[in-house]
């Protein structure tokens, strides 16, 4: 059933089992990126962005890493020349380790009201790292007048009751639209058939196991 499965290999392992091919169809997909979302919405950070809390992961960078990072920024600046100065300034200020919930909300409002994108607003799927982020955005949307009526907002997570999760897979009634907030499990493990727009924060959580090796050497030994 997986799109990436090696069917021939499985067939050989199962003594030449028959492989059934079920034809399908693909749909055209338009990809837009962070700079496009900022340009489209006119989003900008607050003036006191410098006082926001940052997660500094660069403390252990050596000079080669710093040079590589500076080179990447230079290359990014060249790629952003087609965008407005406001967009370029916002991109430069954004902390890549934070989720801009306000930007996501503004983007959904634009998609839902802009004639160019309104046809994609029937069912919006948003990928978030975990249940905490899902709840934050869920509360923001439910508290916004734009989504207070004619919209269904469904958090989708294993910690949520099964009947509530099942509602996310239903096609909303005529004249209404829906938003599904989920982790990246909705990208590989399940399918929401009526999705017309996906907003991906580009962040996810994963379990990692690190193995450290420690050597204890006797003080009298010569290593």
The predicted pLDDT at position 107 comes to: 96
CATH 3.40.50.300 in the chain, residue ranges: 99-223
**pLDDT band, residue 160 (cuts 50/70/90):** confident
CATH of 99-223 given 1.10.10.350, 1.10.357.10, 3.40.630.30, 3.40.50.300: 3.40.50.300
Q: Does the pTM exceed 0.85? A: no
How many CB atoms lie under 10 A from the CB of residue 116?
Answer: 9
User: Two tokens at 47?
Assistant: 């003036």
How many CB atoms lie under 10 A from the CB of residue 167?
Answer: 14
């Amino acid at each position: 059933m997986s799109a990436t499965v090696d069917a021939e290999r499985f067939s050989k392992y199962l003594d030449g089992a028959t492989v059934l091919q079920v034809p399908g169809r693909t749909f055209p997909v338009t990809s837009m990126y962070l700079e496009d979302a900022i340009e489209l919405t006119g989003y900008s950070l607050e003036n006191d962005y410098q006082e926001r809390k940052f997660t500094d992961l660069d403390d252990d960078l050596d000079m080669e890493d710093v040079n590589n990072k500076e080179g990447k920024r230079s290359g990014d600046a060249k790629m952003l020349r087609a965008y407005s100065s406001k967009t370029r300034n916002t991109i430069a200020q954004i902390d890549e380790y934070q989720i801009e919930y306000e930007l996501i909300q503004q983007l959904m409002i634009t998609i839902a009201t802009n004639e160019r994108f309104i046809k994609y607003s029937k069912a919006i799927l948003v990928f978030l790292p975990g249940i905490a982020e899902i709840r934050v955005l869920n509360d923001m949307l439910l508290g916004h007048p734009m989504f207070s009526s004619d919209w269904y907002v469904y958090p989708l997570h294993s910690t949520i009751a099964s009947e509530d999760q099942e509602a996310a897979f239903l096609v909303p009634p005529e004249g209404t639209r829906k938003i599904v907030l989920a982790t990246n499990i909705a990208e590989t493990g399940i399918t929401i058939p009526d999705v017309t727009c996906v907003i991906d924060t580009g962040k996810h959580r994963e379990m990692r196991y690190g193995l450290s090796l420690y050597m204890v050497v006797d003080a009298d030994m010569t290593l």
